[in-house]
Chains A and B, each alone.
Chain A
């Protein structure tokens, strides 16, 4: 069973397009994290959410605790946004972390 589901698995967009990546989870959480993994393998934390919405530059992340769903939006996408985006949740029981399988985004110039 997968505690965290992401969609889509793969996404190709034209430069400038608005992009949405979705994450659904089935466990009770303390926090939800969005991570970015570059083609070279390095992982960077983009957002930590426990409620509401956060914005950083062209990236916006939202979470709906009741529906157990989060979205990551990228406005005015750029080729440098090409990466794998991973949703992760920190459970509120057992101190566990669960990861989605990632969304591979390619932005074409």
Chain B
């Protein structure tokens, strides 16, 4: 158990809908990362937050947004969903948000868009 929790575990929804994925980091970790893993593109970095502020942005679509709250949990919002958004979404956390930090991954949320 990494200490990172993600909810929900599974999500099935329809095209055009909006969903929110939630992540709670390990106790004491200030940085949260979001990743998307699809069958055709592998793991992709979406976005990173550190202590409530956006630190880095990767291949995140404009339809997607995220935030980190004062209690350090984070939410990833996906809107106007398309079939191609079906994927595993992982959250990870680390202590200082540096590229040299070890990251601890949550169990993932499997999103299916029908």
Q: Which residues of A contact B (CB under 8 A)?
A: 29-31, 33, 35, 41-45, 48, 50, 86, 88, 90-92, 94-102
Give the number of chain B interface residues (Cβ < 8 Å): 24
Chain A residue nearest in CB terms to B1 = A42
Chain B residue nearest to A98 (CB atoms) is B45
**Closest partner residue, chain B, to A42 (CB atom):** B107
Do A31 and B105 contact each other (CB < 8 Å), given the known contacts A43-B90, A98-B45?
no
Binding site for A on B (CB under 8 A): 2, 33, 42-45, 48, 55-56, 58, 88, 90, 92, 98-105, 107-108, 110
Decide if B48 touches A95 in the complex (CB within 8 Å): yes
- Alpha-carbon distance between A95 and B56 when the two chains are bound, in angstroms: 6
A95 to B99, CA, bound (A): 7
A26 to B100 Cα, complex, angstroms: 18
Q: How far is the CA of A30 from the CA of B101 in the complex (A)?
A: 10
Which B residues touch A86, using CB under 8 A?
42-43
Selected from A29, A33, A41, A88, the residue in CB contact (under 8 A) with B88 is A41
CA A48 – CA B42 in complex, angstroms? 20
B105/A30 in contact, CB under 8 A: no
Most chain A beta-carbon contacts within 10 A, residue among B48, B56, B99? B99
